Amino acid sequence: MIKSSSLLVIAAMAGGFLISTGASAGDVLRGQEKSLSCQACHGTDGNSPIPTFPILAGQHRDYLLQSMRDYKSGVRANAVMKVIVDPLSDLDMQDLAAYYASQKGLRKIDAGRLKEIP
């Protein structure tokens, strides 16, 4: 028997999912043009070679978009990324998320990386 509190949690999660998939998809080419200012840290195509900067290439679009929105609102606190996303519009962030999600990166690299971990 499922408790009613569990049902509430499931309903809330389903609601969040519907909201996130309702967002505009963003434009990959526009995102690429807007990604110039990201390259110094995240690599030319989002495959950052420097461990302190996360790999964005191949990450889920919704996760990338939510991260940028959270840096902007302050929900996710990071001084560097706050400065980066502050001048961006929501459309800019949607385009950037679409671009990085379309790149080959995490999905391709994962298997090889996991083998390297002792």
Q: Return the number of the residue (1 or 79) whose C-beta is nearest ligand HEC.
A: 79
| Cα 53 from chain centroid (whole Å) | 13
Show the tokens assigned to 105: 């990166």
Nearer to ligand HEC, 28 or 84 (CB): 84
**Given the complex with ligand HEC, which of 11 and 108 has the nearer CB atom?**
108
Q: Compute φ and ψ for 27, nearest 5 degrees.
A: -120, 120
96 contacts ligand HEC (rule: CB under 6 A): yes
Give the residue, chosen from 37, 104, 107, 108, that forms a contact with ligand HEC under the rule CB under 6 A. 37
Nearest to 93 by CA among 78, 108, 72: 72
Cα–Cα nearest to 27, from 103, 104, 96: 96
Please report how close the Cβ of residue 93 comes to ligand HEC at its closest, in angstroms. 7
The SS3 call for residue 84 is helix
Select 20 or 37, whichever has its Cβ closest to ligand HEC.
Answer: 37
Residues of span 53-92 touching ligand HEC by CB under 6 A: 53-54, 56, 64, 67-68, 76, 78, 80-81, 84
Could you say which DSSP state residue 50 is in?
S
CB atoms within 10 A of CB 105: 20
Q: Which residues bind ligand HEC (CB under 6 A)?
A: 37-38, 40-42, 52-54, 56, 64, 67-68, 76, 78, 80-81, 84, 96
